[in-house]
Amino acid sequence: MNDARLERLFTETLRLISEQGFYGTPMSQIAKCTGISIGSIYNQFENKEVLLNELYKKIKIDFANHVFEHLHAHDPIEKQLKDMLTQIFYYYLEHRQALNFIEQYENSPLIRPQTQQDLQPHVQRIVQTFKQGMQEHKIKELPAESLIALCFGAVSSLAKLYVRKAAQQIRPEEIDTLIDAVLSMARADSAGR
In the chain, the percentage of residues whose pLDDT exceeds 90 is 65
Residue 166 and residue 94 share a domain: yes
Residue 1 belongs to domain with CATH number = 1.10.10.60
Nearest to 86 by CA among 150, 165, 182: 182
Q: Tens digit of pLDDT for each residue in 135-158?
A: 999 999 999 999 999 999 999 989
**Distance separating alpha carbons of residues 55 and 65, to the nearest angstrom:** 15
Nearest to 129 by CA among 150, 153, 106, 145: 145
Which secondary-structure segment (H or E) carries 100? helix 96-106
Q: Tens digit of pLDDT for each residue in 95-107?
A: 989 988 988 888 8
Q: Is the pLDDT of residue 182 over 90?
A: yes
Q: Tens digit of pLDDT for each residue in 45-66?
A: 999 999 999 999 999 999 999 9
Q: Is the pLDDT of residue 191 over 50?
A: no
Residue 121 lies in a domain: yes
Residue 49 lies in a domain: no
**Distance separating alpha carbons of residues 155 and 45, to the nearest angstrom:** 33
pLDDT given for residue 39 in this prediction: 94
Provide the pLDDT confidence category of residue 78 given band limits of 50, 70 and 90.
very high
Q: Tens digit of pLDDT for each residue in 118-134?
A: 999 988 989 999 999 99
Core vs surface per residue 135-154: b (16+ CB within 10 A) or e = eeebbbeeebeebbeebbeb
Residue 157 belongs to domain with CATH number = 1.10.357.10
Residue 80 and residue 142 share a domain: yes
